[in-house]
Amino acid sequence: MPRKAGVYAVAIGFKPGLYETWDEVNAQVRGYPGAKHKKFGTRQEATGWLAESGVDLDASSKAAQRRSCSPEPRPRERNHGQERVPTATARKVTVPNTNTSTQPSLPVSQVRDLETDRAAFLFNNVSPSPLSPILADIAKKGFSFSKSSPHHLIVYTDGSARGNGQVGSKAGAGVWWGSQGEASKSNWAERVPGHPQTNNRGELLAVIRAIERCPYPDLPLEVRCDSRYSISCMTVWLPKWVEKGFKGSRGEPVMNVDLIKHLMTIIRRRGPNAPVRFKHVSAHSGIIGNEEADRLAKTGGALPDVKDRGEWLDLDLPEEPQDNKLISVDTEIDERWLMSAEEIDLLERDLAEGDRGVGRDS
């Protein structure tokens, strides 16, 4: 089948410039943080776009000639467009487990399955250690994996609330797995059910849907989100809330406890061989997965109102027996990402009052 006419331009990648095939472009952008590329009908249009993007083709060609005579640096040695996040340390939070049975099919609210129309690009899909044949086959379907071993399947989540913290707010949840193949068909947008309609409930619901609808539930999962609130809830304050019966610092019930308990339950049901790890990413910083999850969350917030499902799982219910096994929830932690108990308490009280609009921009 003849190749369609056109030319590709890579503005940010291993070797910026013009390319004739997608395979050539893919080699330059795949695994390069913040990569930027576009297809044009003519070479003149592509050249003009590169110039607007600050790429000097003559200088790029000379640099390419120099690179051909010297070893190519490893992708991790490059820092152009990297995520601007603090240096992190690993923290593992261990809380009592329930059971390790297979996660059941859970009813979901009115949702809309969206396929992204972005150009094919898998952020962070290149790993220093080779993927196993099984994971490599999954990667060919558009999914991406973490660089660390054991490799975690990557998903981006986000929440959105138009008029966050105000009467009439409309909240949504977005889940993004990838831009092509099976991964794009797994992307998800949903209106937050019931009340209150807050950004934080959208953030938590997005993580819930990522886990419930994970196409490969037996694999370790890395949830990437920009929500300090969600990460703080699940990795710092959860053990304290469990110990205190999900009561806040003043003895009042923790806000969003229905979603938090449900999330904790489905994480535990995955079992120790399919752990969930959280990773903070900077919001609105050009990370394609985060941008797409944000877009999906806004789409979800525009969907019709949905009644509260009223079926959130609860560890205290008889069908969720406790046992002595432990399960871990870990994350890459930097204290600057996290919210103190007082911050969470103040944020949730202000949002519940519905008249101050406290919370991050959606």
Convert the pLDDT of each residue in 48-107 to its tens digit: 878 777 776 764 443 343 333 333 333 333 333 333 333 334 444 444 443 333 332 223
- Given a contact cutoff of 8 angstroms between Cβ atoms, the answer to whether 89 and 330 are in contact is no
Residue 31 pLDDT grade (very low, low, confident, very high; cuts 50, 70, 90): low
Return the number of other C-beta atoms located less than 10 Å from residue 191's C-beta: 23
Strands 36-40, 153-162: parallel, antiparallel or unpaired by DSSP? unpaired
Residue type, 306: V
pTM above 0.85, yes or no: no
Q: Which residue has the tokens 């499902």?
A: 309
In angstroms, the CA 263 to CA 203 distance is 11
Given pLDDT bands bounded at 50, 70 and 90, which one contains residue 184? very high
Alpha-carbon distance of 1 to 160, in angstroms, equals 43
pLDDT band at 207 (very low <50, low <70, confident <90, very high): very high
Report pLDDT for 72.
37
DSSP code string of 263-284: HHHHHHHT-TTS-EEEEE--TT
Report the alpha-carbon distance of residue 160 to residue 332 in Å, rounded: 23
Structure-token match 């920009």, residue found: 226
Q: How many residues does the chain have?
A: 362
Domains of the chain, first to last:
7-77 (3.40.970.10), 89-353 (3.30.420.10)
Average pLDDT taken over every residue of the chain: 73
Beta bridge partners of 188: 113, 175
Q: Which helix or strand (DSSP H or E) is residue 37 part of?
A: strand 36-40
Q: What integer is the mean pLDDT of 261-289?
A: 90
